[in-house]
Structures are given as C-alpha cells and as structure tokens.
Amino acid sequence: MANATFNAGIDYFGLETATSNALKVTESNENRSKQSASGANTYGDAAVVDSWGETAAPSASYLVVDEITSSSFPDLGEVIAAAIDSSPVVLGGISISTQNGSAPTVTASGQMVQSGATQLRAYELPSFSISPRHRAQDILGFASIKKGTSAADDTEDYGLESVNVEFPIEFTLAQPKGDLKNYDLHGGMATAAYTLNWYASTAPTIALSAAATAAGATISEPVAKSCPEGGYTQYTFTISLPMIGEEYSSGSGT
C-alpha cells in the first residue's frame, strides 16, 4: 500500500467537487514566503537577522478528464474557508493549458488571508468549454484564422499547436509589523496565447473573431512569425480581454 503522503495533491479550491470530478487534482503547493532583513557589522558581515510576515499563496494543478464549462468554476475572488492552516484562501487565478498530444490541464492559485476575511470582489470568468481531448483548443473562440483570403471555417485544420488561457487577479496585503490584517484584489485580465503551425506557402490571415470584438478584446501581442532551421513556420500571438470585478459588501453581493 502506498504511503499516505504519496500522490497526495490537495484540492485547496474545491474544484473537483465544483466540477463534478471533471477536474482531478494532480499536485499542489503551499508556496509559503516570509520577509527578512539583516544588519551588518563594521566589516560588512550580517550581525543580526529578523524575519516576519509569513504567508502562503497555494496553488493546485488538475487534469481535465471530462467535458467542462466555465459555469462550473467559482468566481475569482471567492473565499474558501479553512483551506490552509485553518486560514481562509481567496481564489485569485485560473490557468488553462491545451496542446496537441497532452491532456488539458488547469492550474488554480490563490492567497491565504486573515481569519474572518470575507469576499470583497467577484470576477466572473468569460464563457468557455473545455474538451478532455488531447489537443489544442481555442476555448474562448477569440481567434479568427483564414487561409489566405478564404473565409474562416470551423471544419478547417489551421494547425493549432497550443492555446494557453490565463485569468489572473492581483492581490495586495496589509501586514503591519508582519501581522496580516487585511487584503484586497484588483487587475483582472483574461489572456489567450496561441501557437500555430503553418505549412502553406500563403501566410494566414489572423484577426479577432466577432465574439472577441464584441467583448472588447484586443490582440495584445502581435502576430509573430518564426522559421527555425530544420523546422516549419510557426505563428504566435496573444489576445487579451479586461475583466471587471463586481464589488461585494460584508461578503454579500451588491
């Protein structure tokens, strides 16, 4: 029988239950950190050292084993009670990686906050669907790719190698003398990074889809072409969409 700590990934954010086991946790990390300072003597050696402000920013990785939609995910900013050391954790980021030849993966990250903390903001994820198939997937449907001047066609093979989507939120902490007293979060942004293999002599036409344009997305990193020796042409680009949070008051939606 395996040791109890072997393959003991912790689902800090409850995503297995939230997604009816369409996600299965594979690994996790507490990501603990502290601040420190040292004072030098006459010779420049550290004579004293102090540390303070220990905190944790846990993360968990999951495999996608069944069809899943964005409606199964909690909002970013949600507080998970007693997630680590009996302290609450705020869900602050979701990353989704899809690529040819590998199962899709999801990584969730967050921030340990003070005891009794309540939800301050909610960032609802854009609509998407992830297949458990082992292939690149434009889950947000933000890219319009055409072969030359021909119309974009969902049945065409446009050579997607990978599509990686991220929904990060930024945290700030109030820690007077290292004692965590409060937190806040801001800066929601959705990004989708594409890698496209290309074998035709005519360059592709890459633009925002109608859905991306309607949502207010932009191509934040321009289409870049690379032609390695002994390899085929690739194109990379990134599309970004602002995410506006909803304010909460005393843990209740306003």
Distances (CA, A) of 73 to 15, 93, 94, 175: 7, 11, 9, 30
The pLDDT value given to residue 81 = 86
**Range with the poorest average pLDDT among 57-66, 84-93, 120-129:** 84-93
Asked whether the beta carbons of 53 and 183 are under 8 A apart, the reply is no
With beta carbons less than 8 A apart as the criterion, state whether 109 and 93 touch: yes
Q: What angle do CA 113, 241, 119 make, to 5 degrees?
A: 20
Of 3 and 189, the structure prediction assigns the larger pLDDT to: 189
Residue 152: pLDDT band with limits 50, 70, 90: low
* pTM given for the model: 0.90
Domain parsing of the chain, residue ranges: 15-31+52-246
Neighbour count for residue 4 (Cβ, 10 Å): 7
- Report the pLDDT averaged over residues 60-71: 97
